[in-house]
Copies of this chain bind each other. A is one copy, B any other.
Amino acid sequence: MDYVTRVDAFAAKMGKYDLDLALLFDRDNIRYFTGFRLNRVVSSILAVSRNGNTTYIVAQLDLKRAKRDCWIEHVIPFPEDTPNYLASLAPLLRGSPRRIGVEKDTLTLAQMEYMMEIAGAGVEFVDVRGLTAQLRIIKSDEEIACIRRAADVASRVMDKVRQEIRPGVREAELASWTGYLMGKEGAEGPSFEPFMMSGENAWLPQRVASQKALKDGELVLLDMGAVCDGYCSDITRTFAVGEVSQEQKRVFQVAWKAQQAAIEAIRPGVHAFEVDAAAREIVEAEGLAAYFPHLTGHGVGVSVHEAPILDKGVDTVLQPGMVVTVEPGVYLPRVGAARVEDMVLVTTSGCELLTSAARDLV
């Protein structure tokens, strides 16, 4: 990956916004610029100066590995498990930056107060979330190759889980099995806490996997994804346990038809809200609009959930190189819930499906 180009592009944007320094704490932004993988319980900080110089601040225990594996030359340690872990920032702040770029949805009050104490109260914090999102929203060919691998792993895992759908097996057992299958396939791990929800758990919807066992005649949703080389996938399938009713089949068909309509709407130049509307029109025509309570899709990349959002009122214009999920759902109380979620790459002429697991109900 061309990490240096990424940092240079970010530094150029910093110049436009008159930022002296950017301090990034968000683990996905840091992975995007450094390529360095950390355990999810571990933090790090990436400092970028206006001229593109970088300092990477990692936990003492990760220092040797970061020096060996990360392209950034200036790597310094911070002490873990102490209240003064931010002390490593002091030398950067003593240069008296006036305007510091931060991720306002990630920087904590404790971190901000520390910086104000060292740098002085005159410092201004400027949100750079928009700048990093701009960089990340269009995927390069190298990034798309990683996302394809993550999508392939998730598709193969999903097809294996399909074989195990039967009465008596518990939601949590199958959801946790997906993580093992991903590990076997060479993934770093799951891209989020996978969840399976069956029967009445599904139409709530539940969004976790419980100890409930699958029962004959239920619809079951499994939503999961893998991480490969730092890039995420995200896929949902709906399964029938044994025989299901005509009404359940209809719920599934409406959700799937809505998904197909949204995918057909995806091409460069289309607005996000138009893709969302294509899905909602199908669900509404079936009189089920009230039972589709969430977005139609979201971007996927280093984060499993990033720009662009495909939802009502979002006027982002789709462009080649964007990768999004398409996942309208129908959750009908006392009947069942269904959602078919695929990942789609926006191409120059339309779009391409990245996930491939079987989509039918049985």
By a beta-carbon cutoff of 8 Å, the part of chain A in contact with chain B is 37-42, 60-62, 64-65, 68, 80-81, 102, 104-110, 112-113, 125, 127, 170, 172-173, 175-177, 179-180, 182-184, 186-189, 192-193, 195, 204-209, 211, 293-295, 298, 304-305, 309, 311
Contacts and interface: CB of A to CB of B under 8 A. Distances in A.
Given A105-B110, A107-B109, A176 B189 contact: yes
A304 B41 contact: yes
Contacts of A192: 39-41
A109 B112 CA distance: 8
10 contacts: A39-B195, A39-B207, A40-B192, A80-B295, A81-B309, A104-B110, A105-B110, A107-B109, A177-B180, A183-B209
A183 B176 contact: yes
A81 B104 CA distance: 16
A42 B207 contact: yes
Contacts of A204: 64-65, 68
A305 to B, nearest CB: 7
Contacts of A60: 293-294
Contacts of A304: 41
A175 B193 CA distance: 16
Contacts of A172: 183, 186-189
Contacts of A113: 104
A208 B39 CA distance: 5
Given A39-B195, A41-B193, 15 more contacts: A61-B293, A62-B207, A65-B206, A65-B207, A80-B295, A81-B298, A108-B108, A108-B109, A109-B109, A112-B112, A172-B183, A172-B189, A183-B209, A186-B211, A189-B209
A39 B65 CA distance: 31
Nearest to A39: B207
A108 B105 contact: yes
Contacts of A107: 108-109
A100 to B, nearest CB: 11
B311 A81 contact: yes
Contacts of A62: 207
Nearest to A211: B186
Please list the 8 inter-chain residue pairs (A to B) with the smallest Cβ-Cβ separation, ordered nearest first. Answer: A176-B183, A180-B180, A104-B110, A179-B179, A104-B109, A40-B193, A39-B207, A105-B110
A189 B193 contact: yes
A14 to B, nearest CB: 18
B109 A41 contact: no
A183 B211 CA distance: 9
B105 A207 contact: no
Contacts of A309: 81
A193 B37 CA distance: 12
Which one of A37, A112, A172, A179 has the greatest number of beta carbons of chain B within 10 Å? A179
Contacts of A293: 60-61
A7 B284 CA distance: 43
Contacts of A106: 108
Among A188, A195, A209, the most chain B Cβ lie within 10 Å of the Cβ of A188
A182 to B, nearest CB: 6
Contacts of A188: 172, 208
